[in-house]
Amino acid sequence: MSYVKIWIHAVWTVKDRQLVLNQGIRQKVFEHIHQNAVAKEIMMEIVNGHHNHVHCLFRLKNNQTIENVMQLIKGESSYWFNKSELSRLKLNWQKEYFAVSVSESQVEKVKNYIANQEEHHKTKSWDEEYDEFISKYGFQIIKG
């Protein structure tokens, strides 16, 4: 048996940053994402976010890739959302996402950060969070 413990903090946004995830429905969406992930044997620890984006923390199993997990989570959740008619708006996710590894010593800190998105975004916009993520993790933006 292989033993793998790779924590991933992933973030993705609603297409065109539309404010689809209003306060009345976003917890339903996040709960659904979590339940669906568990059903698909994705070791999802926490899901939360704000009006136009989602954060999650999960562990990769030895037969999973980040790309595969993100496809399963994003594709199914937008399909479910649009079919369930939670909103007159349609939910489409951006193709892109952030994903970074999280060391075991930082798991609780990341969980708290994800859990407190509502409070966090009282003082920081999505654009500020995005810029911080790009800078903190050294991502290079390629414009083409």
| 111 alpha-carbon distance from chain centroid | 12
Q: Is residue 144 part of a domain?
A: no
Q: Is residue 142 part of a domain?
A: no
Q: Is residue 64 part of a domain?
A: yes
Residue ranges making up the domain that contains 117: 6-137
Q: Reply yes or no on whether the pLDDT at 95 is more than 80.
A: yes
* Residue that the structure tokens 């976010």 belong to: 49
Q: Is residue 143 part of a domain?
A: no
Q: Residue 11 is part of a domain; what is its CATH number?
A: 3.30.70.1290
Separation CA 5–CA 126 (nearest Å): 30
Q: Is residue 73 part of a domain?
A: yes
Q: What is the mean pLDDT of the chain?
A: 91
pLDDT per residue as tens digits for the range 11-29: 999 999 888 998 889 999 9
Tell me the residue type at 34.
Answer: H
Separation CA 11–CA 134 (nearest Å): 12
Query: Given pLDDT bands bounded at 50, 70 and 90, which one contains residue 142?
Result: low
Count of domains in the chain? 1
pLDDT per residue as tens digits for the range 25-73: 999 999 999 999 999 999 999 999 999 999 999 999 999 999 999 999 9
Here the tokens at position 24 are 């009345």
Q: Is residue 53 part of a domain?
A: yes
Separation CA 58–CA 44 (nearest Å): 4
Q: Is residue 1 part of a domain?
A: no
pTM of the model: 0.89
Q: Is residue 28 part of a domain?
A: yes
Separation CA 126–CA 50 (nearest Å): 9
Supply the pLDDT for residue 114.
95
- 34 C-beta neighbours (distance < 10 Å), count: 19
Supply the pLDDT for residue 86.
85
Separation CA 99–CA 102 (nearest Å): 10
Nearest Cα neighbor of 80 from 21, 40, 32 is 32
Separation CA 16–CA 95 (nearest Å): 11
The answer to whether 56 and 35 are in contact (CB under 8 A) is no
